[in-house]
Structure formats: structure tokens, C-alpha cells
Amino acid sequence: MPSDVNYTRLDQYRQASGVGVVIRPEEVEVRVHTGIVAAVGAALLLGGCGAASSTPPSSSSASSASSSSTAVASTVAWHPSSSCHTTNPFVEQAIKNVEAWTVPDVTWYGPTSGPKLKAGTSVVFIPTDSTNILSYTWGEDILAIAKKIGWTATMIDGKGSTQGWEAAMTEAIALKPNVIMTSADIPTIDTYVKQAVALGIGVIGLHGTSFAGPSIEEDEYTNITTDPVLVGQAMADYAIADSCGTAKVIIEYDSTYEVAVLKAETMKGEIEKCTTCKVLAYVDSPLSQASTLEPGLCSSWVSQYGLGWYAMSNADDFWDYCAPALKAAGVADSAVHLIGCDGTSTAYQRMRTDEYQVASVPEPAEFQAYAAINDANNYVQGLSASYGTAAGEWTQPVYMVYSESGQTNVNAAGGAQGQYYPNNNYAQRFLTLWGVSS
């Protein structure tokens, strides 16, 4: 187990937020996020994802998303194959979890009160790498929201390396913004974060550290992320449930990022608890070099392990380069099962066309951009952060997109546009909270 995974922080986070997760062998907690089962029932009663749709960047897209989501609502949830018969409680629980996670959650967990916007606020966003789809999407959404509310926003490319992050932080600090937001790994650039904080500049991470909310050990005002432990668990649960407890699994991650290590350790721990499953390989590979390394890696897995395996990763971007290599090797689309997270547009497309990828745990990028702007407003007004606070005030629950064996929810909750937009009217709720006309 990597030494840089801080399980003390994990325990503190779990105790504060009420999240129940099986992460160690001796634990036997119920492993579903508090409230998610109730949310499933609410979603089904409301007709799945046709209710209260948030507005994506294009109003025409929003209309399309709403109609597409309604069309798949009756069959949105994943269900096990009729040939799956198990009495293993661990596998049975994984099946229940996946059934819950594949229904869009329409509940609003966010703030219902807060300060109006402070005029004249400026923010800088540093994506870990502008070629990383999720990071760049966050940046585009932050810039669009800032423009809408009259704030000043700038994006500086982190270029996917420690040196690039440090250079971007230096440039951002020189601009003297009120807040710097970044998806770079906060512990790696801690010296620069401290410089910013000393100058009165708030630092907000988007996947900047492992856990949602204010960092316990870093100088980070808050961190915006879906619970990484549950994300890792959801990916592992899908492999366990879909295989009826017989999954042979490859786990790929990038240890450059603290949050990626935590997801990977969670995946590995879950698979190892499934006594009839097996971890074939645990691969640390730099995401910034995926275009050159991934084709060879995926080809080697076929050579070494044959077919029928599940591969899980901390980013869908890995599979952008794996899928073409599998295709070139003549591997049938259904012969391997790729599972990822972030929910990039390319991942949605692979699932839509049944091209190797069977599931992804998407990050709601636009929603998280709104949450980051909301906490930037809290920061400049001297208030505590709202998202994922130490008291577990709120985080957006895990949601899983899948497509396999004729079942799919790929068009639900914004999926028709290749991105996850939670169906809880988040954009209007934040704008109303801030006193901004839509």
C-alpha cells in the first residue's frame, strides 16, 4: 500500500461526513452513500431523469437532454444478468450498490442560503493539463460562469507536469487574483499554495487533494470533488456485480495525483475482498504520457492475460488510447470491459457505441464549476467554505453511467450531450442564491 495514502485523513473525513465504505478487510459496513437508496426511489417516482433538468451551456442542448433522459427513464438502472445466481453477501451488496448508483439522483444537497455575489472578484483557473478533458471542461465552465456573473476569470495551462504547475502558479500569483482554482495536485505545489495564501489569495482545488472540503493538512480553502473513495468503490462494484463475482481485474492509475492513488487503493481493496475475483495487475502509469504508453500497455494485457478481463482506471482519458490499440489488435468490443471515471465526452461515445467501455463514474463538471465559484464567493466575504465541509455539509453523490448487454443509461442526466448534468436544477439554484437573473 503506497505510503502517501493518508488513511488518518480518510477516517476523519468518513467520520465527519457519515459515509460508510468497506475499505479495510475487518470492516463490514453498509457501503452505500447516506441517502442514495432514498434518492433512487425518488428518481423512479419522478420518472427517472426527466424532472428538474439543469441547463447545460446551450439551451437547445438542454431541451434535447431532457427529452432523451425521459426516453430512457424506465430502463435507466443497471440490473444483473439473468444468469447471475449468487448467495455471496459481498457480491449481492455490490449488485445492490450498482443498481442504486446507475439511477440519476434528483435531490438537491447544496446550500439554500448564502451571501450575494461580491462584485469585482477575480479568479484564475489552472487545469492540470489543457489536454485533460475534465480539467479543460472545468476551466471553460468557470470562465463562462464568471462572464455571466460579471467576474474576471483567467485560465493558465498547467501543462501536465510539476514544472508546468509551478510556472502556472507563479504566473497566477503575479496576477493578484482573489482566488486561484486548480486541478493540479495540491500537495505537489504546496510551496506555491502557501505563497498564495500568505498574500491573501484563496486556493480552491478541483481534485486538488483526495477529499472534498477544506484540506486538513494543506493550505487549501476547499476541494471540489465527488467522494473519491465511493468513486473507486463504484468502479470495483461494477466489475464484481457485472461478472457475478468472478472478475479478473487490471487497475491503472497515475500516482502523481493523491486522489488517483486513493481511488486505486479503494478499487484494489474492494476486488481483493471478493474472494472469487482476482487483481491481475496494478499499474502506475503517467496520464500525461498516455498517448505514447497506453497502446503498448493495453496490447500487452491482451498478450499476457488473454480476454474477458475488466480494466479500471482513475481517468477515462487512459482509454482514449487503449480502445484504438484493442481495435487494431482485432479484439472484439465485448471481449474486454473498460471502466473509468470523470465521464468525458469520449467515454460517453465509447459507451454509446459499445466500444469496449462499459461504465464510467462521471464528474458533473459544470455543477462543480458552480460549486467552486460559490465557495470563491464565500472566501472573498470571509466565510467558511460550503462544499464538503468538515461537518459533511454537502457533496454531490456518486452516479454511474453504463452500457452493456442491451442495458444503458447513457442518455440520462445530460448524457445525450456527452456530459453529466445532475437533474437538480443546480445552475438556477446557484444563480438565485447569488442574486443573479438567469
Contact 137, 365 (CB under 8 A): yes
Instruction: For residues 103 and 393, give the distance between their C-alpha atoms in angstroms, rounded to a whole number.
Output: 23
pLDDT digits (tens, 9 = 90+) for 126-163: 999 888 888 899 999 999 999 999 999 999 999 989 99
Q: Which pLDDT does position 393 carry in this prediction?
A: 60
Per-residue pLDDT at 337 exceeds 90:
yes
Q: Which pLDDT does position 267 carry in this prediction?
A: 96
Instruction: For residues 190 and 14, give the distance between their C-alpha atoms in angstroms, rounded to a whole number.
Output: 24
Contacting residues for 269 by C-beta, under 8 A, at least 6 apart: 22, 23, 24, 25
Same domain? 324 vs 409: yes
Same domain? 406 vs 386: no
Quote helix, strand, coil % in the chain, to nearest 5: 45, 15, 45
Q: What is the 3-state secondary structure (H, E, C) of 3-63?
A: CCCCHHHHHHHHHHHCCCCCCCCCCCCCCCCCCHHHHHHHHHHCCCCCCCCCCCCCHHHHH
| pTM for this prediction | 0.79
Same domain? 62 vs 23: yes
Q: Is residue 412 part of a domain?
A: yes
Rg, the chain, Cα only: 20
Per-residue pLDDT at 386 exceeds 80:
yes
Q: Is residue 438 part of a domain?
A: no
What is the residue type of 22?
Answer: V
Instruction: For residues 207 and 227, give the distance between their C-alpha atoms in angstroms, rounded to a whole number.
Output: 10
Backbone angles phi, psi at 202, to 5 degrees: -75, 150
pLDDT digits (tens, 9 = 90+) for 157-186: 999 899 999 999 999 999 999 999 999 999
Q: Which pLDDT does position 389 carry in this prediction?
A: 54
Per-residue pLDDT at 74 exceeds 70:
no
Contact 212, 363 (CB under 8 A): no
The mean per-residue pLDDT over the stretch 65-81 comes to 54
Residue 312 CB coordination number (10 Å): 29
Same domain? 90 vs 235: yes
Closest CA to 44 of 115, 102, 122: 102
Structure confidence at residue 226 as a pLDDT band (50, 70, 90):
confident
Q: What is the percent of the chain with per-residue pLDDT over 70, rounded to a whole number?
A: 81
Structure confidence at residue 404 as a pLDDT band (50, 70, 90):
confident
Helical pair 162-174 and 190-198, crossing angle rounded to 10 deg: 10
Q: Is residue 113 part of a domain?
A: no
Which CATH number goes with the domain that contains 85? Answer: 3.40.50.2300
Q: Is residue 83 part of a domain?
A: yes
Same domain? 12 vs 93: yes
Structure confidence at residue 390 as a pLDDT band (50, 70, 90):
very low
Give the mean pLDDT of the chain: 82
Structure confidence at residue 5 as a pLDDT band (50, 70, 90):
very low
Same domain? 127 vs 271: no
382 Cα distance to chain centroid: 28
Per-residue pLDDT at 37 exceeds 50:
no
Q: Is residue 429 part of a domain?
A: no
Look at the block and give the residue holding cell 482554482.
181
Same domain? 389 vs 404: no
Per-residue pLDDT at 120 exceeds 50:
yes
Helical pair 426-434 and 133-149, crossing angle rounded to 10 deg: 40
Look at the block and give the residue holding cell 466565510.
383
Query: Collapsing DSSP states into helix, strand and coil, what is residue 246?
Result: coil
The mean per-residue pLDDT over the stretch 213-229 comes to 84
Same domain? 54 vs 179: no
The mean per-residue pLDDT over the stretch 65-86 comes to 63
Same domain? 239 vs 348: yes
Q: Is residue 111 part of a domain?
A: no
Per-residue pLDDT at 270 exceeds 70:
yes
Q: Is residue 63 part of a domain?
A: yes
Instruction: For residues 27 and 22, give the distance between their C-alpha atoms in angstroms, rounded to a whole number.
Output: 6
| Domain assignment of residue 354, given as a range | 7-106+228-362+400-417
Same domain? 261 vs 408: yes
Instruction: For residues 91 and 240, give the distance between their C-alpha atoms in angstroms, rounded to a whole number.
Output: 6
Same domain? 93 vs 217: no
- Tally of domains within the chain: 2
Per-residue pLDDT at 10 exceeds 50:
no
pLDDT digits (tens, 9 = 90+) for 317-333: 999 999 999 999 999 99
Same domain? 342 vs 323: yes
Q: Is residue 431 part of a domain?
A: no
Q: Which pLDDT does position 51 carry in this prediction?
A: 28
Strand order in the sheet with 310-313: 278-284, 248-253, 310-313, 337-342, 357-362, 401-404, 407-408
